[in-house]
Amino acid sequence: MMSEKLYNIISKIFSVPITEINDESNPETIESWDSLNLYMLIDDIETEFNVKFTLEEILEIKNVGDFKKLLVNHGCELNE
Amino acid sequence: MKISMVIEEKLSAYITKSKKLNSSNFQKKIKTALLSNFTLDGLNETISVKCADIQIGCNTFSGGYNQYNEEILNDKSKLYSFSPDICFLILDTRKILGDLFFSPYNLPVEKRREFIQNKVDELTNLVKLFIKKSNSKLVVSNLVVPTFSPYGIIEAKVSYGLQEMVRDFNQKLSDICKDEDSAYLYDLNGFVARFGQNNVFDYRQYFFGDVKISLNHIPFLANELLGFIKPILGLNKKCIVLDLDNTLWGGIVGEDGFNGIKLSHNDPIGRAFIEFQKYLLSLHERGIILAVNSTNNLEDAMEVIKDHPNMVLREEHFACLKINWNDKVTNFYEIAQELNIGLDSMVFLDDDQVNRDFVGTSIPEVLTVELPNDPSLYVPTLTELNDFNVLKITEEDKKRGKMYLQQRKRTEFKKNAPNFEEYLKQLNIKVRIKKATDFTIPRISQLTLKTNQFNLTTKRYQEEDVRKFSQDKKKIIGCAQIEDKFGDNGITNVFIIDKENEREWVIDTFLLSCRVIGRGIENAILSYICEDAKNKGVKKIKARFVPSKKNKPAETFLPDFGFKKENDYWIYYLNNTIKSPNHLMLKIE
């Protein structure tokens, strides 16, 4: 399962090449993953996918794969 | 359509741009500090990007989270070593009120008053300390008044309730800022009201990271703070150039006729234009110059301006009227020349997209506003423009409109005078030399900040600088007020002299506002300085001409007066006779 759209947003916010992002990417592997960037990322994802996460869901996010799971739970289609 | 005309990018876009910023090449530079009692991540980056967009190199500092007390109290703090030009202190209601934010009524009313007074005193102390210790301006936000209350609909029945407490705090803070010259109030409560508390405050972001202004409102907040930065650097706009048809009134006077244009109180469209004119008039009254640039028959347009019963703006409100069939760009250059102001301080309002594109691309320095095609949105478009701010409204500002009118009459008088000498004589010019006082210091600073043309060194001084100079025994700060038979030009000259030693004075600054150039006034003032020096036993006066992009008019001032070039300096030996023009009267006050 791969989402071009999601990876593009992540790549833009964290300023890392798309090729360096995978489902396991997390604050340890992406240096610029700080709280401001995370929040901007959530904001962009919410706008782009037209969803709204709860605070609890946000706190559960540990890596890129978690974003995918969340989006699927919210009924988003990631196979693009 | 939303009332807020400004469409903003997301914060993330600004953060991305901020990483690629290279603002070291910009001529104008500013150092801004940000202190806050909550998270304002991304605000500094956004301010830097927005500054770079208008060619300002912005160097920012951010105080530690909720460290504003320490930063201000400690002489050795990073804030003071950063030495900002302007410092923003943005405060949040929750943090100031603490537990009282939800349970104010646990305290009896007298204790509530005491609590607020203590908080005000603490902040007053910080404001005064900071101003004393630094050369920076300080912008303090007021508190956002909560829109809820545990008392619900009877909140207003409670004596000194939650909302009243916050409003009282705000009023007291506003009073402090009135008293302190270098302190300014930023109406954060007004900002939140404009955008709506439910939009600006995002509970998730608040719980997540003590964010109290949601990330996507940060760029809007940055716009507001830029409103303080631009006038420090003299980047405020001074003149609005207006089209007529469909800009000041509805319809086209040449086709619809005097009685056909829409400018009636009985017609919604007419009311929109009348209201727009009223707002323009209010800007005129506080010193913004208005001019007309219109493609029209002069007679048709002037008939409306002079005789239409519902016109708010009349002939006397316009410093310059270009109503003809020339192209708008040519007219624009002529207006700038006649008013003697820079194109970069002019704003252009025209309903016609073609005209806007023509002026916008031909003269990019001019701020061409994208007027919406609905006249009911003209007023909010103009109120959203954050470019007319000044840090002080001087007496000269309020009189400016009148002065330009006098200038028009002077020009007519000059046309009819037999020769130039006779014209100068008949002007009855009076020059009053004044010292730096509480009344003149704001104007002295303002002139150093905005005078570009007749300015020997173009050194910019804030009010704080001038105040310090005025207490320095080794400096002379003076200014001159110019009057003539057509009226008062106000204070239009500044000179600052360094008394290097008993034998030598150095002119640090000498400038003259462009509207009084060419009447011998500059020579009279310089002769006065020379005479004064000579009387005090000084042997020579040194001066410099530092060329800038705009100060060509002052280039030959020193040699024409008799200064001789020696290395980097122009020198005038005071054993020479000092000539002074005899067509004007000079008075020392």
Q: What is the pLDDT of residues B434-475, one digit of tens each?
A: 999 998 999 999 999 988 889 999 999 999 999 999 999 999
% of chain B beyond a pLDDT of 70: 99
DSSP B184-232: EEE-HHHHHHHH-HHHH--HHHHHHH-B-S-GGGHHHHHHHHHHHHHHH
Mean pLDDT of chain B: 92
Q: How confident is the model at residue B8 (pLDDT cuts 50, 70, 90)?
A: confident
- Binary contact (B10, A12; C-beta < 8 A): no
Rounded to the nearest angstrom, the minimum Cα separation between B107 and chain A is 33
Residue-wise pLDDT tens digits, A8-36 = 999 999 989 999 999 999 999 998 898 88
Question: Of 3.30.465.10, 3.40.630.30, 3.20.10.10, 1.10.1740.10, which CATH number belongs to B418-588?
Answer: 3.40.630.30
Q: Report the number of distinct structural domains present in chain A.
A: 1
Residue B422 has pLDDT above 90, yes or no: no
State how far the Cα of B392 lies from the Cα of B177, in Å rounded to an integer: 12
Which residues of B fall within a CB distance of 8 Å from A45? none
The H or E element containing residue B454 is strand B454-455
pLDDT for residue A1: 44
Which residues of B fall within a CB distance of 8 Å from A55? 203-204, 207-208
Which residues of A fall within a CB distance of 8 Å from B45? none
Burial B44-63 (b: 16+ CB within 10 A, else e): bbbbbbbbbebebbbbbbbb
Torsion from C-alpha of A54, A58, A63, A68, nearest 10 degrees:
20
Starting at the earlier edge strand, list the strands of the sheet with B86-90.
B56-62, B28-36, B86-90, B137-141, B183-186
Rounded to the nearest angstrom, the minimum Cα separation between B130 and chain A is 30
pLDDT for residue B519: 87
Which chain A residue has the Cα nearest residue B12? A40
- Binary contact (A39, B211; C-beta < 8 A): yes
Q: Which two tokens stand for residue B193?
A: 């009201």
Domain annotation covers residue A79: no
Residue-wise pLDDT tens digits, B518-547 = 888 999 999 999 999 999 999 999 999 999
Domain annotation covers residue A42: yes
Tell which B residues from 212 to 241 touch A, by Cβ distance under 8 Å.
215-216
Q: Is B533 exposed, middle or buried (0-12, 13-18, 19+ CB in 10 A)?
A: buried
- Phi/psi region, residue B416 (left: phi>0; alpha: psi -120 to 50; beta: rest), is alpha
- Whether the CB-CB separation of B492 and B516 falls below 8 Å is answered with yes
Rounded to the nearest angstrom, the minimum Cα separation between A13 and chain B is 7
Sketch the domain layout of chain B as residue ranges. 11-232, 239-384, 418-588
Q: Which two tokens stand for residue B129?
A: 């300390």
Structure-token match 């004393």, residue found: B132
pTM above threshold 0.80:
no
3-state secondary structure of B160: coil
- Binary contact (A44, B205; C-beta < 8 A): no
Domain annotation covers residue A80: no
Domain annotation covers residue A26: yes
Q: Which of B10, B208, B211 sits opposite A55 (nearest CB)?
A: B208
3-state secondary structure of B29: strand
3-state secondary structure of B293: strand
Residue-wise pLDDT tens digits, B292-338 = 999 999 999 999 999 999 999 999 999 999 999 999 999 999 999 88
State how far the Cα of B125 lies from the Cα of B571, in Å rounded to an integer: 48
**Same fold? B11-232, B239-384:** yes
Parallel, antiparallel or unpaired: strands B487-501 and B504-512 = antiparallel
pLDDT for residue A79: 65
pLDDT for residue B359: 94
Residue-wise pLDDT tens digits, B92-137 = 999 999 999 999 998 999 999 999 999 999 999 999 999 999 999 9
State how far the Cα of B232 lies from the Cα of B31, in Å rounded to an integer: 11
pLDDT for residue B23: 67
pLDDT for residue B410: 83
Q: What is the DSSP letter of B250?
A: B
Rounded to the nearest angstrom, the minimum Cα separation between B565 and chain A is 56
Q: What is the DSSP letter of B138?
A: E
Whether B77 has its CB under 8 Å from any CB of chain A: the answer is no
Residue-wise pLDDT tens digits, B145-195 = 998 888 889 988 889 999 999 999 999 999 999 999 899 999 999 999 999
Domain annotation covers residue A64: yes
Q: How confident is the model at residue B1 (pLDDT cuts 50, 70, 90)?
A: very low
CA angle (B458, B449, B441) in 5-degree steps: 115
**Up-side HSE of residue B587: CA atoms within 13 Å toward CB?**
9
- Binary contact (A36, B41; C-beta < 8 A): yes
Give the range among A39-43, A53-57, B24-28, B302-306 with minimum mean pLDDT.
B24-28
pLDDT for residue B4: 38
State how far the Cα of B349 lies from the Cα of B290, in Å rounded to an integer: 11
- Letter for the amino acid at A13? I
Which positions ≥6 away from B438 have C-beta within 8 Å? none
Domain annotation covers residue A13: yes
Q: Which two tokens stand for residue B414?
A: 């000059």
Question: Domain of A37: which CATH number?
Answer: 1.10.1200.10
DSSP B455-518: ESS-----HHHHHHHHT-TTEEEEEEEEEETTEEEEEEEEEEEEEEETTEEEEEEEEE-GGGTT
Q: How confident is the model at residue B227 (pLDDT cuts 50, 70, 90)?
A: very high
- Binary contact (B216, A43; C-beta < 8 A): yes
- Binary contact (A39, B16; C-beta < 8 A): no
pLDDT for residue B403: 81
- Whether the CB-CB separation of B23 and B32 falls below 8 Å is answered with no
Q: Which two tokens stand for residue B350?
A: 């025209």
Q: Which of A36, A41, A47 sits opposite B42 (nearest CB)?
A: A36
Residue A52 has pLDDT above 50, yes or no: yes
Q: How confident is the model at residue B2 (pLDDT cuts 50, 70, 90)?
A: very low
Helix runs in A1-80, H state only: 4-14, 35-49, 55-60, 64-73
User: Among B448, B205, A50, which residue's Cα sits nearest to residue B213?
Assistant: B205
Which chain A residue has the Cα nearest residue B204? A55
Domain that holds residue A33: 4-73
Tell which B residues from 9 to 48 touch A, by Cβ distance under 8 Å.
10-12, 15-16, 19, 41-42
Question: Of 3.40.50.1000, 3.40.50.970, 3.30.1330.10, 3.40.50.720, which CATH number belongs to B239-384?
Answer: 3.40.50.1000
| The architecture CATH gives domain B11-232 | 3-Layer(aba) Sandwich (3.40)
The H or E element containing residue B59 is strand B56-62
Domain annotation covers residue A21: yes
State how far the Cα of B368 lies from the Cα of B362, in Å rounded to an integer: 11
Which chain B residue has the Cα nearest residue A45? B12
For chain B, give the longest Cα–Cα distance.
Answer: 83
> Predicted ipTM?
0.86
Which residues of A fall within a CB distance of 8 Å from B11? 40, 43
- Letter for the amino acid at B159? S
Q: For the residues A37-65, what does the mean pLDDT come to?
A: 92
